[in-house]
Amino acid sequence: MRGPGSVRISQGRIESIGFDEAAGASIRLPRDAILAPGFIDIQVNGGGSVLLNDQPTEAGVRRIVEAHRKAGTTGCLPTLISDRSEVIERLAATAEGCLEIPGVLGFHLEGPALNRSRKGIHPDAEIRLPDRRDLAAIKSFGRRGRSIVTLAPECVPASMIDELIGAGLRIAAGHSDASAAEIGQAVDRGVSGVTHLFNAMSQLNAREPGLVGVALGDDRLFAGIICDGIHVDRAGLRVAFRCKGRDRLMLVTDAMPLAGTNDRQFMLQGREITLCDGRLTGRDGTLAGAHLTMIEAVRNAAALIGISLVDALIMASRTPASFLGLGSELGRIAPGYRADLVAFNPNFEVLGTWIAGVGSMGEASEASGRG
C-alpha cells in the first residue's frame, strides 16, 4: 500500500490493513518509512562470520540468519556448497532443529553434482555424481522445509532428477555447461529454477542458446540473479528483467561469511578469500560468492535495472515465495498472510523486521507508518 497506513497483526498473521494511521498503534514507524513484505533469500552461504559448510549446526545457522535479518531478510535458505558426504549428513542431522529458528524456510544444496568446467569457486575434489549415501542425505531435505538442490542436468541421469523431485525437493540448474536441448529435457522433467543467472553456466550463442538462452526464454523457469553490479553487467540485468519480468526473476545474495561484519578475509575450504572493492575472490581471481545483503540488492535493482521500487521488492519477496510454493502465505502485505515484514527508510536503511509478527523492534499487534 502507499501513503500513511496501518497493518494490524493477530496471532502472527496480517489481520487487516488501514489506509490512515492507526491511533494507539503499538509500533509507530517514521512518516517516511517504507513497510514491505520481508525479503526471502534462497541462496545464503554464510553471514556473521559463519560459513554454513564450516558450521552446519543450529548455532551456525542461527548466526547466519541473524546477520541477514538485520538487512531485511525474514526468510532464507542457508546454502551448502559442494562438500564431503560427512558435511551433508551433519547438516541433514541438524536440519529439523534449524527449521525452528525464525527465518529458516529450508535449505539449498548447491552441488555436488556440478559440471567441473563451470565449477566456479566450488572445490574440484568435492564435485561428483552423488552415490546412494549422498542421495539418502540429500533426499532427506525434501522433508525439511522448502529445500532446493542445484545441479548440472547434463551430469546426472534423468532418473536422479525424478528421484529428487519425488522426494519433495525443488531442482535448479546451475554450474552447468548443458546445451539448450539438455536443459529443455530437464525442465520437462520438472527442473524449475536457475541458480545465479549468467554466472557459471553455458552462455547464449548464435547457434546454441545454452542455459542462459533457455532461462531467458522459458517462462516455466524462475531464475535467481546476483544484483551487485559485479556478477552481472547492468545491460545483462536489464535483459534478464525484460525477458523474465518481476514474476520470474528473483534477487539473491549468494552471501558469504563477511556479510554483516567488518572483516576482509575468510577461509573457504582451505582457500583464502579476500574482499576488495566489493569483490570476494580467491587468489586466482575467481569470484567466491558475493558481499551483498538483500536490502542492497533491492536498492541496486532499482538503480541498475531502472525499475520501480515495487518491482524490486516483488523480486525480493513475492517471486521467491512463489518459487518455493509459499505464494499463498508469504511475499505480500494482505489479510491472511504471515506477518513477515521489513521497514526501511528512503536511504535503504533497515529500521526493523518482523517474522510472524514478532519483530526486531518488539512484538507487533498493530504497526503504523507508510507502505
Beta-strand pair 13-18/4-10: antiparallel
What letter does residue 176 receive in the DSSP assignment? Answer: B
Helix, coil or strand: residue 311: helix
Q: What is the DSSP letter of 10?
A: E
CA distance 72 to 82: 27
Q: Which residues contact 96 (CB under 8 A, 6 or more apart)?
A: 144
- The number of helices, as runs of H, and strands, as runs of E, in the chain is 10, 22
Distances (CA, A) of 261 to 71, 121, 266, 276, 292: 12, 21, 11, 14, 11
Tally Cβ neighbours within 10 Å of residue 358.
Answer: 14
Q: Rg of the chain over CA atoms, in angstroms?
A: 20
Whether 254 is a known active-site residue: answer yes
Contacts of 279 (CB under 8 A, 6+ apart): 230, 287, 291
Beta bridge partners of 279: 276
Question: Residue 363's beta-bridge partner residues?
Answer: 358
Cα 27 → chain centroid: 29
Outline where 281-353 has alpha helix (H): 294-300, 309-316, 318-323
Q: Which entry of 254, 263, 311, 340 is annotated as an active-site residue?
A: 254
Rounded to whole angstroms, what are the CA distances from 213 to 20, 161, 205?
46, 21, 8
Please identify every residue annotated as catalytic: 254
